[in-house]
Amino acid sequence: KVEKSQIIADGAATYQGELALGRNVLVGFMSFDGYNYEDAIIISEELVRADTYTSIHIEDFDVEIRETKLGREEFTRDIPNVSEKALRNLDETGIVQVGTFVRPGDILVGKVSPKSKTELTPEEKLLHAIFGRAGEDVKNDSLEVPSGIEGIVIDTQKFSRRMSLSDDERKVFERELKEIENEGNAEITATFTTFVEQMEAVLGH
């Protein structure tokens, strides 16, 4: 049984039946001499110091390597037809380094895949005929930052997939995974704390 005006549905984006997004603040606004209407609004510095409107958004990207009919895919920094500038943020295994500021189009993980012989140019086919597999070409299959996303890399992890695990192995794996998650959360907190301290230093507080 419900009554008039009783709330029957609520969620994370509502409060007491009303839409509630973000944080509400009280702002005093008065135009100059009461005539103009395009004056700026002065907001309390406390909002900046308290990070009232500061938020963190974390994006998770993953990429796999597989054994294909043409050969095994590989994580690498040696990517064909890619400039050294585009590779500057990758470590020796081809994975972007923690702390790097990345923008759309930047390489997160360098990956190459074997090319089909039908994809080879006449020059590449000649090299393949002369040097055998050593002359076999590969194609760039790297993971790049998608459009509309930019930010700082806070963690990278590399896993090996196991096809079957015993009970003891599964317990060890779950414990290690929990430890990695805790370490990742600690790194995120430390990174955010450092960012706040730097902002306060810039603002002179």
Asked if residue 20 is part of any domain, the answer here is no
**Which residues touch 154 (CB under 8 Å, ≥6 apart)?**
58, 98, 184, 187, 188, 191
- pLDDT of 30 above 90: no
Choose the most confident range, by mean pLDDT, from 29-33, 84-88, 185-189. Answer: 84-88
Task: Tell me, yes or no, whether 167 lies in a domain.
Answer: yes
pLDDT band at 164 (very low <50, low <70, confident <90, very high): low
Element spanning 202, H or E:
helix 167-203
Q: Is 129 a domain residue? A: no
Q: What percent of the chain is predicted at pLDDT more than 90?
A: 17
pLDDT of amino acid 135: 45
In a domain, 194, yes or no: yes
Q: Which residue range forms the structural domain that includes residue 189? A: 163-205
**pLDDT tens, residue by residue, 35-93:** 666 656 667 788 878 888 787 888 899 998 888 877 788 898 888 888 889 999 999 88
pLDDT at 14 over 70: yes
Burial group, residue 79, by CB count within 10 angstroms (0-12, 13-18, 19+): buried
Mean pLDDT score across all residues of the chain? 79
Which pLDDT belongs to residue 105? 92
Q: How many domains does the chain fold into?
A: 1
- Nearest alpha-carbon partner for 61 in 114, 104, 93: 104
pLDDT exceeds 90 at position 109: yes
Closest CA to 150 of 104, 89, 195: 104
User: If you average pLDDT over residues 80-107, what whole number do you get?
Assistant: 91
For residue 49, the one-letter residue type is R
Residue with token string 């054994």: 67
25 pLDDT band, cuts 50/70/90, is confident
pLDDT digits (tens, 9 = 90+) for 124-157: 666 666 655 444 578 889 999 999 999 999 999 8
Confidence of residue 110 (pLDDT cuts 50, 70, 90): very high
- Is 169 within a domain? yes
Q: pLDDT at position 183, please? A: 82
Q: Give pLDDT, residue 194.
A: 82
pLDDT of the residue at 133: 44
In a domain, 56, yes or no: no
Indicate whether 175 belongs to any domain.
yes
> Strand, helix or coil at 175?
helix
User: Would you state the pLDDT for residue 43?
Assistant: 72
Answer yes or no: is 201 within a domain: yes
What is the pLDDT, as a whole number, of residue 31? Answer: 64
